[in-house]
Each structure stands twice: as structure tokens, then as C-alpha cells.
Amino acid sequence: MSLLPDVAFLCDDPDLGAQEFTVRRKTGTWVAGRFIPGEPESLTPVGNIQSPTPEQLEVFPEGVRKNEKKVIYTTTMLYTTEGEEISDVVIWHGNEYKIIRADRWDDWGYCVAYAARR
């Protein structure tokens, strides 16, 4: 049993700014070290999407720092894969944001994802 509080409900609370967004996720399988794409899927999770704090800006690689960035707090796990173009893409307010990092906070019941506008 964890002594840490479950704060996942904060990600889903509309009074705290939570709202629906769309996640476009590539599916597929790994065969002999290569990703074979399958049919993409679309999810509609709820979460809180914010601009990054100055400290969070350090998470973003220099190459994407010029793009608009968002930090996403959600109970739906978001994914990224280095070196492959299979990271989740968040669609919010008509803009696409590629997930560049996702931190799991399983003990607290949520994930924090960092995304840059495409």
C-alpha cells in the first residue's frame, strides 16, 4: 500500500481546467527490430493542458524550443519512442502536438507528458 495520496482526480476535474482532447496513436508490431505499422487509433481522454513553467522548459530539446509547447496532466498514459516516428500526437484546439517525453507517476495515478507543436 502506497503512503502517497492518489491525486489523479485533479487531472479529470473540469473545475481545475480539465477538458477532453484527442490522441492519435500509431499501432503496430515490432518484427526483427523494425516497427511494422498497423491501423492508427484515436482516443479521447480528459486532462489538464498547460504552458510549461520555466523549469519545465528545460525538458524540451533545443531543436523544439522554438515551437509552441504544452505540458499535459492526464490519467491516460501517453507514449513517445525515441528515434521512431511513432510517438502519440495530441490534438487540442485544432493544433497537433507531438509527445516528446512522458513521465509516469503511477504512485499518484497519472502521467505528465511534454509536447511540442508540429
Question: Are the CB atoms for 47 and 75 separated by under 8 Å?
Answer: yes
pLDDT score recorded for residue 1:
46
Structural domains of the chain, ranges and CATH numbers in brackets: 9-117 (2.40.10)
CA distance linking residue 62 with residue 44, whole number of Å: 30
pLDDT higher than 90, residue 66: no
Average pLDDT, the chain: 88
Q: What does the pLDDT read at residue 33?
A: 84
Cell of 54: 520555466
pTM as predicted: 0.86
Among 5-9, 12-16, 79-83, 98-102, the range of highest mean pLDDT: 98-102
Cα–Cα distance for residue pair 51/114, rounded to 1 Å = 10
Query: What per-residue confidence (pLDDT) applies to 6?
Result: 67
